[in-house]
Each structure stands twice: as structure tokens, then as C-alpha cells.
Amino acid sequence: LHSRQLMSELLFECYHIPKVSYGVDSLYSFYHNNKPPSTGLIISSGYHCSHILPVLNGRLDAHNSKRINLGGCQATSYMQRLLQLKYPGHLPAITLSRMEEILHEQCYIAGDYTEELNLWKCPYFYEKNVHRMQLPFNNKLLASTLTAEEKLERRQQQIRRLQELNARRREEKLQLDQERLERLLSIQELLDEGMTEQFKRALLEMNMDSAEELQSYINKLSLIVEQTKQKILQAEVNVEVDVVDTKPDRIGQFNLAEYHQLHLGSERIRVPEIIFQPSLIGEDQAGIAETLQYILDRYSKEEQNELVHNVFLTGGNVMYPGMKTRMERELLALRPFKSSFQVTVSSNPVLDAWFGARDWAIEHKDQTEGWITLAEYEEKGGEYLSEHTASNIHVPMSIAKPT
């Protein structure tokens, strides 16, 4: 109200415009994508918050509208905290602007969050799907100020440090592979001992369908374990040679840039999930699905059916891949068995609010409804609002009578 009052004062008294109209961005987006009068349920998620707005016969039902205090700002901050904890050595490079870039280009909405989160526990799934982001890196820093002896010593230290890192990584990977191989072999022993039921249950836990698949996986894992052992032995044999031989071209076998990368794994689904599960960041709020159910329960069955037949997604924070599929999955769980619904996404979630405002202004330029004229401003004050199909409701300001 205060912002609208200041804006009206600026427009009428400074720029001397003839008339002005105010509206809600998500309602303008809905207006641009649906022929009025339309009935639907708008799910709008922006930078600071998200709204669920029911629209009946082209008019906003403000009394049943709800807001969730989560949006792109909180997602960006959450991504920054996750990566700062994961990479404490790269704190200066983990900036909010870089996190916004990651959020828009790398993240997506999981169809089933719990199921997909479990997939990221598998090292093979991780290696196949992880995204690596290269940070700014300069391996020639201070090179011109070092003497030949200092360069030689620094090169030896880098070689030793990187060899230790590589050896530790191989040993950790070998340990994980050996533990998984032992687990698979123990399952195979169940079959050899005739314990069929326990064998089948164990296969289900490992997401396998048959003994042949189990044997194939054991063979592959055994080969990987053997190859890793050979690499570790070879590295131990060559360690003295690598340290003594300090020719400039020896450093080329190490890619120092790899140690200045951000690996984006489960963070790609954890961060955008906060609009469905605010508890992930400690917020005591309902997510989109729970809020949606709460709003629908306030209507009759006929009105519910009309609303869910036009669930409209808009706003910059709904542009994640998989958002529409996830909303359809949530609605399928909320609605009665075999009931129908439809989810649509704005043709341009970021700019359709402007396009909708343009459409409304062109179509209603010769009408009086929805416009505030200079005369009305001078008579009714800056807090006055002329309602229309894409506007908020006007709540007159009450003035207490002096006693």
C-alpha cells in the first residue's frame, strides 16, 4: 500500500500522466496465457517468495491465496552454504553470482526426490552424472620471482603432494569397491547354500533381477579391484623415480586444474527441492504440495475440479527442468483416484508478466475499469486501487475517529 501510494504520487505529480493501472505479475502472466474469464490455480515462484493463487471466473480469490517465503534467493544461499562446507579451500570463489549461474544451468527437479537421492550414493552413478565446474586457476603465480632452486623445490613438493592425493583417492576407491564386492559375494553364497528366499531379498535390495546379473556385476567389480591394485603398486614402484626426475615436462602428467573444480552431484536436486520441502533449510513452513492441498480443501468438489484442470506455473523459479513432471506427480498423489487434472507452464515464465500487462493495457485503453485517473487520485488519495481481472483487491484504509 505504501509503495503504491508513493508510485502514484511520483507518476501523477512529477510525470503528469493521465492514468495508471496496478496489477499482480503472476495474474498478468495468467492473463497472457489464458483467455479471460478463466478459472485456474496459479503457482508463482519468484526470487524472494512463492504464491499459490486461485482464480475463479477471471477473478482472484485473495482470501484463499497463500504465500511461501521461499524462492530463488533462498535457493542461491543454500547452494552457497553447501559448496562452502564441501570446499572450504575455495571460499573466495564460491560467490552468490556464481551460485545463481549454477542454479540456473545445472539444477533440476527430481521426479522422486528420495529415490534419486539414493542413486547418488552409487559411485558409478556419481561419476556418470556429476557436473564439474572449473574455477579460475593460474599455475604460474609468482613464477617470475622464484629462483631456479626455489622452482625445483616447489615442483618437487607439488609432485609429492599430488602423488599423495592420487594414492589416497585410489585407496579410498579400492576400499569401497572391495566392500561392495564382499557384499555381492556373500549374496552369491546364499544361492550356493540353497537359501533361495534370502537370496531373492538380497537381490531386491541391490536392485538386481537375476543371478546372471549378479555374476556379471561381480566379474566387472573384480576386474576393477584388480586394476586399482595394479595402479597402486605401480605408483609405489615409481614414486622415487618421479621425485628424483624433475625435468619440466614431468609436471605435465598432473592436471592441477582438477583440484580447482566444483563437483556438483546431489546438490543439483537438493537445492531446488526446498520449495517442496522447506525443512531442508530449517524453515517451519509447508511446501508447495501441502499448501496446494490446503487451498483445494477450502473449495467444493466442483470448484476443485475446475481449478486443477488449469494449474498454471509461472515465475523464474519454476524454470527448472522436471518442474512440470514433479507437479503432475504431486497432484496425482493429492487428487482422488482416476481424477483428471492439467498442468501447464508459462510460455515465458520470466517475461510473460510484462506481456500480460501490455495485452491488458492495449485491450482496455479506452475503458475506465482498472484505471486510476488524475481526478480519482486527487479525490481518493494514493492508496486507492481500481480493481480489474489481474489486480489485487482494494482494501480501503480505515481512519480512526478522534474521541
Residues 268 and 73: their CA atoms lie apart, in Å, by 16
**Confidence band of 250 (pLDDT split at 50, 70, 90):** very low
pTM (two decimals)? 0.69
Task: Report the distance separating Cα 317 and Cα 75, nearest Å.
Answer: 9
Confidence of residue 255 (pLDDT cuts 50, 70, 90): low
The pLDDT tens digits of the residues spanning 265-324 come to 999 999 999 999 999 999 999 999 999 999 999 999 999 999 999 999 999 999 999 999
- Cβ 314 vs Cβ 353: under 8 Å: yes
Contact 323, 331 (CB under 8 A): no
**Model confidence at 124: pLDDT above 80:** yes
User: For the segment 361-381, what is each residue's pLDDT rounded down to a tens digit?
Assistant: 999 998 888 999 999 999 988
Rg of the chain in Å (alpha carbons): 30
How confident is residue 192, by pLDDT bands cut at 50, 70 and 90? Answer: confident
Q: What's residue 403's pLDDT?
A: 63
Q: Tell me how far apart the alpha carbons of residues 121 and 130 are, in angstroms, rounded to a whole number.
A: 12
Per-residue confidence (pLDDT) for residue 254, from 0 to 100: 56
pLDDT tier for residue 399 given thresholds of 50, 70 and 90: low
Question: Residue 140: pLDDT above 70?
Answer: no
Long-range contacts of 375-382 (CB under 8 A, 24+ apart): 377/8, 377/12, 381/5, 382/4, 382/5, 382/6, 382/8, 382/9
Average confidence score pLDDT of the chain: 86
Reported as a single tens digit per residue, the pLDDT across 50-75 is 999 999 999 999 999 999 999 999 99
**C-alpha cell, 264:** 556438483
Rounded Cα–Cα distance for residues 272 and 161 (Å):
37
pLDDT tens column, 321-351: 999 999 999 999 999 998 999 999 999 999 9
Bridge-based pairing state of the strands 50-56 and 66-68: antiparallel
Question: What is the pLDDT at residue 246?
Answer: 46
Give the pLDDT of residue 401: 65
Write down the pLDDT at residue 249: 47
* β-strand pairing of 40-45 with 311-314: parallel
CATH for the 22-67+285-369 domain, from 3.30.1490.20, 3.10.20.30, 3.30.420.40, 3.30.450.20: 3.30.420.40
Contacts of 11 (CB under 8 A, 6+ apart): 17, 20
